[in-house]
Amino acid sequence: MRPLFLKAISLAVTLAMASQAMAQDSPTPTPPAPVPAPTPETPPAPVAPPAPAASASQATVAAIAAAAAAAAARVDPAAKPFADIVKGAQHMGGFFSLYQRDEKVWIEIRPEQFDKPFFLSANVATGIGERSVYGSQMERSEVVAFRRLGNLVQLVALNTDFRAKAGTPLALAVSQGFTDSLLGSVPIVSAPHARTKGVLIEANALLFTDIPSFSTRLEYAFRMQYALDARNSSFASVRSDEGMTGFHVNAHYFVPRLAAAPMVPSLTAPYVPPPRHTPDPRSMFLGFYYSFAPLPEQPMHGRPADDRLGHFVTTAYDFTDDVRPTLTTHVVNRWRLEKKDPSLPLSEPRQPIVYWLDKNIPEKYRESVRQGVLAWNAAFERIGFKDAIVVKQQTAQDNFDTMDARHASVRWYVGADASMAIGPRQVDPRSGEILDADIAMSDIFARGARRMASEDSRWQAYGASQASNSAAVTAPGPHDESRCDFGMESAQEMGFAMELMEARGEFEMDSPKAEAVAQAYVRSVIMHEVGHTLGLRHNFRSSTIYSLFQLRDKDFTARNGLSGSVMDYTPFNIAIKGEQQGEYVMSTLGPYDYWAIEYAYKPIPEEQEKDELARIASRSNEPQFAFATDQEAYYGMSDPDVNLFDLGSDPLAYFQRRLAISRELWDRVQTRKLKPGESYESLRRSFIYGFDQFARTMPVVVKYVGGVTHLRDHAGTGRASFTPVPVERQRDALKLLTNNLFKADSFKFPPSLLSRLGGDQLEFRLRPDISINSAVLFLQAAAMDQLLSDAVAGRLLDSQEKVDDPKRALSLDELYTTLQAAVWSELKSGKDIGGMRRNLQREHLKRVAATLLRSTPGMRADARSLQRMHALELQRDIRGAMSGAIGTEAKAHLSECYETLSQALKAPMLRTGA
């Protein structure tokens, strides 16, 4: 039992929050404490109210307790009769009964509804169209309960992550060890109803608060402290029936004043401008749809997850059993799908998975969206379900909002910088059952190749402009496993493919063939996102199961797809000119998709589940089920078979072909004849798409250097978990890099082309022309950063111990020698050094000097000594080349480089270790 003074503290805190909620005349409500910024598919963490510090003095505790007692004494026990308050109000019965009169809405809470968990979701119905503040987005969900504390009602988010068997001492210990969170509290405003005994609370006071923590989201996007303004917030709609009580809140956020832009631009702290697409950036309305819905009376049986397949999981920490080696339990996220007639080999489900196509989807794309959703029925038919997935079209007569918790949906959304498609889901944390899912499809997919939505920002990322007056927002933190960038990234793929095919003369942008490609593309993106809403994670290894030769066969790709899974980030399958062309995009599920659906959804008697799931998962070593997910693709992992946007069993060969196609696009741009009056914008767009491909390809090629193949096999397959990439493949990758990035003639463009790369002059650009030197340097510097990183050095040194013959491993010395020889090739050839080459050499020298002056905590001693040895060799070569027949700029460049290197070699090193 808690001490009385802790009860007093809790009462004081909740009364304070209630006072804030009621103070609707105040235009500046206090913003909540900051929380980490969420990613598009990850709901923000709940914000707990401030609590007294654990070290509070006895005097402080006594003062708080006295204040709480005084506040409680001021509560009027003679509350107004229920009937008097709702007189003249519209009554809506349902899960929670609602009463509405004018702008005021009351919620009736009956005695049996207190302390009973229910499902709360908060989704974003309307946004502002920029910086990830978009409409039609699924956000957070919680298991919550209403708790009564005197004359207050608390909305409490229950902590479902930690558990123990009910009624045991450990269950008591868990309840004492981990806390719930308060989302809001409001006073009771009525006496109990004469018949139902329910009491009333004001929905306005409860929901006109920052439950979704969007003040933090807005601060993250704009670096401005927007606050929710309850007085100017309102309900757009409310509804209630037995299945759900819903509130569409039009929430007003504001900031009193805008900060002035800095007089002097700063490179270290770039200025972030306020919202550009609101009439007044000090004010905005955001639409939130809150759903109060009952949890399933009987939690679904949770299916244990297996790390050899990729499913989203619900993780809990169960303290019940102290014999198991770990506390964690992982169950697959999946819909509740049960056969209507279990005796039949193929049966309809008792309740199908229904996806509603929102009425905001353009009519011309609805059929492609429908096909993309229904494509997954093939996987369910294989495990005995007929029509497991059903698609319904919302019409103008349907008055429900697909953002509510009862309608899984596909919705269109637009934004000035929107370029994503996402497929989040909300689950019952007790079992992993998916309760709702809403796919959001950006309008850019329909028109991505026909406009330059973010071209300028992409080009500036290459370094074309160093102006600090940038609109960029600080990048998010570490990659989140539930984040999906497929739609955003593949929009660039589509643009590149369309530009190339137009340049080849295969079709015009407004032709039927281009329309067919766009429709197929929309369908493939929807298939990917539906997979997420069914509980499947990314599979970035699946693209390696077919050969490049097979991918040229249109019949083969129509039957089998381009990859082992639609959950990969699959690029457009573009043939080299003259080769046979297979399908451009995925049109069917891959073998992995059938396997993953079987594991998650196959009906299995509970007593047979362990053995049957083990049998299914044991097939992980079969080539068609190749699997790796976000952990292997991000976080600095070095498996070159796990990539975004590659195709074929030989990724290195694929990337070599893709670079050749990029150069083909550039060549065609040079000779392209524009029609009289046609804008040069199309040439600029094609040119930039070619650089996009280089920027996407080179970091993946670098992964071969010191690369290690990582498999998820369990014991018994005969395959090793970690295998270094063969040295021949690493040398092939180095050769590809040096030939395409670091050779003297890697990037040469005729002035006649560069002088025509104009754009739409009605669009604002920080720099109207294109700096090729800066763009090339961006690519080169990024590759050097990887090649000279501590991580690559460590992997190469460690690989010596992972092979029987150390000579079969690429040495760190060979890497440094190859790179330095390519970057500084003019020192041996005696040729003049052009401006682009001088930039590259300075970047290399900058990294070498930094290593000589200061070692990083992760730097290996061998890497440091090798860098010094190669720096001495470079110093000698520079001195020898300075007397050659080279231009004045080159001589000045070498003289400065020699002096920089000499000073770095003489300077004492700041070491972090011996």
pLDDT in tens, 717-752: 989 888 889 999 999 999 999 998 898 888 888 888
HSE at residue 363, side-chain half, CA atoms within 13 A, is: 2
Q: Worst-scoring range by mean pLDDT, 336-350, 363-377, 489-503?
A: 489-503
Least confident of 4-8, 206-210, 617-621: 4-8
Question: What's the pLDDT band for 33 if we cut at 50, 70, 90?
Answer: very low
- pLDDT at residue 61 greater than cutoff 50: no
Apex 644 CA angle, 641 and 645, nearest 5:
105
pLDDT digits (tens, 9 = 90+) for 70-102: 443 344 566 899 999 999 999 999 999 999 999
Q: How far is Cα of residue 187 from the mean position of the Cα atoms in its chain?
A: 39
181 burial via Cβ count (<10 Å: 0-12, 13-18, 19+)? middle
Structure tokens at 272: 């972030």
Instruction: Identify the CA nearest to 355 among candidates 142, 527, 122.
Output: 527
> pLDDT tens digit string along 538-557?
999 999 999 999 999 999 99
538 or 57: which leads in pLDDT: 538
Which has more pLDDT, 49 or 741?
741
pLDDT on residue 370: 97
Q: Which residues contact 696 (CB under 8 A, 6 or more apart)?
A: 492, 644, 645
Amino acid 911: pLDDT: 57
**pTM metric for this prediction:** 0.85
Average pLDDT, the chain: 84
Amino acid at 331: V
**Whether pLDDT at 141 is above 60:** yes
Q: In the prediction, which pLDDT does 683 show?
A: 84
Q: Does the pLDDT value for residue 361 go beyond 60?
A: yes
Quick one: CA dihedral 657, 662, 667, 673, positive or negative? positive
Alpha-carbon gap, residue 531 to 545, rounded angstroms: 20
pLDDT category at 53 given cuts 50, 70, 90 is very low
Q: How confident is the model at residue 447 (pLDDT cuts 50, 70, 90)?
A: low
pLDDT at residue 9 in the model: 37
Task: Average the pLDDT over 500-523 and give the result.
Answer: 85
pLDDT at residue 454 in the model: 37
Is the pLDDT at 21 greater than 60, yes or no? no
pLDDT reported for residue 77 = 64
Residue carrying the six token digits 């959804």: 601
CB-CB neighbours of 764 under 10 Å = 8
Question: How confident is the model over 756-784, as a mean pLDDT?
Answer: 79
Is residue 462 over pLDDT 70? no
Strands 389-393 and 353-357 come out as parallel
- If you write DSSP's letter for every residue of 710-748 in order, what string do you get? E----TTS---SEEEPPHHHHHHHHHHHIIIIISTTSS-
pLDDT at residue number 863:
93
What the block records as the tokens of 809 is 């491993």
Taking residues 642-656, report their average pLDDT: 91
Average pLDDT over residues 595-620: 97
Q: Side-chain half-sphere of 334: how many Cα atoms within 13 Å?
A: 24
> Which residue reads 């004081």 in tokens?
12
CA torsion, ordered 792, 795, 797, 800, to nearest 10 deg? -140
As a whole number, mean pLDDT of residues 404-427 equals 87
Residue 483 confidence class, pLDDT cut points 50, 70, 90 = low
Confidence of residue 302 (pLDDT cuts 50, 70, 90): very high
* Band of pLDDT at residue 506, cut at 50, 70 and 90: confident
Which ranges of 123-200 would DSSP assign to H, the alpha helix? Answer: 169-177
Which pLDDT belongs to residue 766?
A: 57
pLDDT cut 70: percent of the chain above it? 84
Q: Is the pLDDT of residue 465 over 70?
A: no
Dihedral through CA 538, CA 544, CA 550, CA 554, nearest 10? 10
Confidence category of residue 523, pLDDT binned at 50, 70, 90? very high
Residue 485's pLDDT is what? 66
Looking at residue 515, the DSSP 8-state letter turns out to be H
pLDDT class for 695, splitting at 50, 70, 90?
Answer: confident
The angle at the Cα of 900, spanning 895 to 903, to the nearest 5 degrees, equals 125
Task: List pLDDT tens digits, range 851-900.
Answer: 999 878 888 999 999 999 999 999 999 999 998 889 999 999 999 999 99
pLDDT of residue 508: 78
Of 196, 4, 190, 229, residue with least CA distance to 106: 190
pLDDT value of position 90: 97
To the nearest 10 degrees (0 to 180), the angle between helices 363-374 and 512-533 is: 50
Neighbouring C-alpha atoms within 13 Å toward the C-beta of 812: 25
With a cut of 60, say whether residue 337 has pLDDT above it: yes
Which comes out higher in pLDDT, residue 29 or 195? Answer: 195
Spell out the residues 6+ positions from residue 3 whose beta carbon is closer than 8 angstroms to its own. Answer: none
- How would you classify the pairing of strands 162-163 and 313-318? parallel
Q: Which two structure tokens, joined as six digits, stand for 624? A: 């068609």
User: Are the beta carbons of 354 and 555 closer than 8 angstroms?
Assistant: no
